[in-house]
Structure 1
Amino acid sequence: MNRFPVQVHAARDSHLSRWLWLVKWFLLIPHYVILLGLWTAFAVVTLMAYVSVVFTGRYPPAIFAFDVGVLRWSWRVNYYGYQALGTDRYPPFTLADVADYPARLQIDPPTRLPRWLPLAAWLFAVPHLLLVAALTGPTTWKFGDGTGSAAPLGAVSLGLLIAGISLLFTGRYPRGLYDLMLGIARWSLRTIAYLALLTDRYPPFRLDQGDDEPGPGPVGPAADADHRSLPSSPLHTGGPVEVVSP
């Protein structure tokens, strides 16, 4: 089964406001303030989980639930706001899953993690971090002789600017652009989840675009490798396995 443990789902509103995207930054200020504290706590408790994995091979369930909740809350805020602009429904203030909200995230908990993974996950994740940074991070474009003004235009910011202008003047959000934004967001969340050891499955190098995750079964030529029984590492793309730590 080619099912990645980090499941990111969305359901775009059939009708989006032409102008609301212009003020969502203001409406989301309460969420941004709370998420600042939550992400600080996320960093602290994830370090505690790293220590637990090194000594026991297990991820504390309470920390797992909290970390997944922070990612879930962030995904709802970003889907409403400036990572997708996919809904005009204001995100709820909760770490819990909200079944009827248009943006949802679920992560299958790992049964047992290799004790060495906390020491190497960050290194394995470097290629993904570079690619995600290239897609999501702003690229500064300078005009004139290089001493004039500069505008930060990354792939996501530029794509959402185009989407916003399209909404403003036509009331439509180009479907292909929306699918691309979802693919980038999904890749980012998979990478963060791997770094936080919420899964030991190495993220795939692909943009799974659109609202839903790819279904079970082979997806392209690389699918054959997904069914091999390999240790948890960047080469392991199969299902969850239990690894006996040395």
Structure 2
Amino acid sequence: MAVSAELDGRLSRWLWLVKWILVIPHWIVLFFLWIAFFVVTVIAFFAILFLVKWWLLAIPHYLVLAFFSSGMHAGWWSGGLITLLTLIAAFALAFTDRYPRDLFALIVGLNRWVLRVAAYASLMTDAYPPFRLDQGGTETAGTEHAADGS
């Protein structure tokens, strides 16, 4: 939005009183337009909130990701598969002085899946996250096409 204003060169001392009277019908119309704007905004908010997109369509992903991340709490352990694999990788790194490449690919793939579902559930993207584990440090060609909708 761009707003520009210009001060007139010659001003009348009493014309502003007439202009204030001419503004009253505009205020009445604007009052009803603001009420309509508020009502439509509330309706749109609830339409987006209770669209089946972020909760119903994502339920299968939520169930899978509850196992991957810290969504499942079992006694003292509440870390999830990603945390467990990261701890295993940390021990492997401590004792062998190298990060296991296949474990790295799996952890990145699990985190990629979690982040895709989080972006979809928070309405940051319209692309439905695929049910696949894209392992490795780089995205696969199929994922790029799914993100742009083609």
TM-score interval for Structure 1 and Structure 2 normalised by the shorter chain: 0.5 to 0.7
Q: From 74, 88, 93, give the equivalent of 1:140.
A: 74
Q: Which has the higher contact order (CA 8 A, sep 6+)?
A: 1
Percent identity (aligned): 42
2:20 matched to which residue of 1?
A: none
The residue correspondences of 1:1-246 to structure 2 (distance < 5 A) are 55=44, 119-121=51-53, 122-137=55-70, 138-140=72-74, 150-152=76-78, 154-216=80-142, 239-240=148-149
Q: What TM-score comes out, normalization by structure 2 length?
A: 0.59
Q: What is the CA-CA distance between 1:240 and the residue it aligns to? A: 3.2
Q: What is the CA-CA distance between 1:238 and the residue it aligns to? A: 8.1
Q: How big is each residue's C-alpha offset from its partner over 1:82-113, in whole Å with a ceiling of 9 and x where there is no partner?
A: xxxxxxxxxxxxxxxxxxxxxxxxxxxxxxxx
Q: How big is each residue's C-alpha offset from its partner over 1:170-224, in whole Å with a ceiling of 9 and x where there is no partner?
A: 111111111111011111111011111111111100010111110259xxxxxxx
Whether the 8 Å contact between 1:136 and 1:154 is mirrored in structure 2 is yes
Q: What is the CA-CA distance between 1:151 and the residue it aligns to? A: 3.8
Aligned length: 108
Unaligned runs of 5+ in 1: 1-50, 57-114, 142-149, 218-225, 227-236, 242-246
2:35 matched to which residue of 1?
A: none
Q: What is the CA-CA distance between 1:167 and the residue it aligns to? A: 1.1
Whether the 8 Å contact between 2:66 and 2:80 is mirrored in structure 1 is no
Would the alpha carbon gap of residues 238 and 178 (structure 1) be closer, same or farther in structure 2, given more than 3 Å must change?
A: closer
2:5 matched to which residue of 1?
A: none
Structure number with bigger Rg: 2
Q: How big is each residue's C-alpha offset from its partner over 1:13-71, in whole Å with a ceiling of 9 and x where there is no partner?
A: xxxxxxxxxxxxxxxxxxxxxxxxxxxxxxxxxxxxxx96x749xxxxxxxxxxxxxxx
Q: What is the CA-CA distance between 1:116 and the residue it aligns to? A: 6.0
Q: What TM-score comes out, normalization by structure 1 length?
A: 0.37
Whether the 8 Å contact between 1:140 and 1:153 is mirrored in structure 2 is no
Q: How big is each residue's C-alpha offset from its partner over 1:130-174, in whole Å with a ceiling of 9 and x where there is no partner?
A: 101111125536xxxxxxxx4445211211111111111111111
Would the alpha carbon gap of residues 157 and 197 (structure 1) be closer, same or farther in structure 2, given more than 3 Å must change?
A: same
**For 1:55 and 1:152, how far apart are their aligned partners in 2?**
37
State the superposition RMSD in angstroms: 3.3
